[in-house]
């Protein structure tokens, strides 16, 4: 599964894409765990130390368009992107 990385995730990983050895549909906690295994540098700034959730406001959007619903599974065809938006000050 190819994962597109943006912002902090890209900066810490040093790459724009990462390949995860995941076969078939996965749910979010499984995906986050696999991503943490593949790119340990994402813990703890992007992925929480328990490796089961993103540190807000980092989030996963499928094809950059929507977050998976609770319990929903997704696969490589959903084109997962890890990103965040930031404004304020």
Partner 1 sequence: MAYAGPRDLLEVDLTARTARRTPLPDAVFADALGGVGLAVLLLEQRVHGPIDPLGPDNPIVFAAGPFASTPVPAANKHALAAISPLTGLLNEGLSSSHFSAVLRRCGLAAIVVTGVADAWTTLVVDGEAIRFEDAQPLVGLSAREATKALRERYGDRSLRVCAIGVAGERGVRFASVENDGRQAGRGGTGAVFGAKRLKAVALRGRGEVGVADAAATASLAATLRERALGPKTAKYRILGTGANMRVLQRMGQLPTRNFTAAQFAGTDAVTPERARESHDTYVELRAGCAGCPVQCEHLYVRKDRDRRRAAASEYESTWAFGPNCGVDDLDAVLDAIGRCDELGLDTISTGSAIAFAMECAEHGLLPRDAFGPALAFGNGAVLLPAIDAIAQRRGVGDLLARGVRAAAAAIGGDAAAFAMHAKGLELPGYEPRALPTYALGLATCTRGACHNRSATYDRDLRDPSTDPDPQARAADAIAAEDRAVAWDSLVLCKFVRDCFVDFEAEAAALWSAVAGLPLDGAALRAAAQRTWERKRAINARLGWTPDDDRLPERLLTEPIADGPLAGRRLEPERLARMQDAYERLRAAAGTAAPVA
Residues of this chain that interact with partner 1 (CB under 8 A) are 4, 6-8, 10-11, 44-46, 55-59, 61, 63-67, 81, 83-89
Toward partner 1, which CB reaches closer, 22 or 48? 48
Which residues are CB-neighbours of 4 under 8 A, at least 6 positions away? 16, 17, 64, 79, 80, 81, 82
CB 36 within 8 A of CB 51: yes
Q: Name the residue nearer to partner 1 (CB basis): 8 or 22.
A: 8
Rounded to a whole number of angstroms, the minimum distance from the CB of residue 23 to partner 1 is 25
What is the smallest separation between the CB atom of 79 and partner 1, expressed in angstroms?
Answer: 10
- CB–CB of 55/47 below 8 Å? yes
């Amino acid at each position: 599964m190819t994962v597109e990385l943006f912002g902090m995730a890209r900066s810490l990983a040093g790459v724009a894409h990462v390949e995860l050895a995941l076969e078939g549909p996965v749910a979010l906690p499984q995906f986050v765990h696999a991503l943490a295994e593949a790119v340990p540098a994402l813990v703890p700034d992007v992925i929480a130390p328990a490796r089961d959730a993103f540190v807000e406001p980092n989030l996963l959007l499928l094809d950059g368009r929507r977050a998976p619903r609770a319990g929903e599974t997704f696969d490589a065809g959903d084109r997962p992107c890890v990103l965040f938006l930031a404004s304020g000050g």
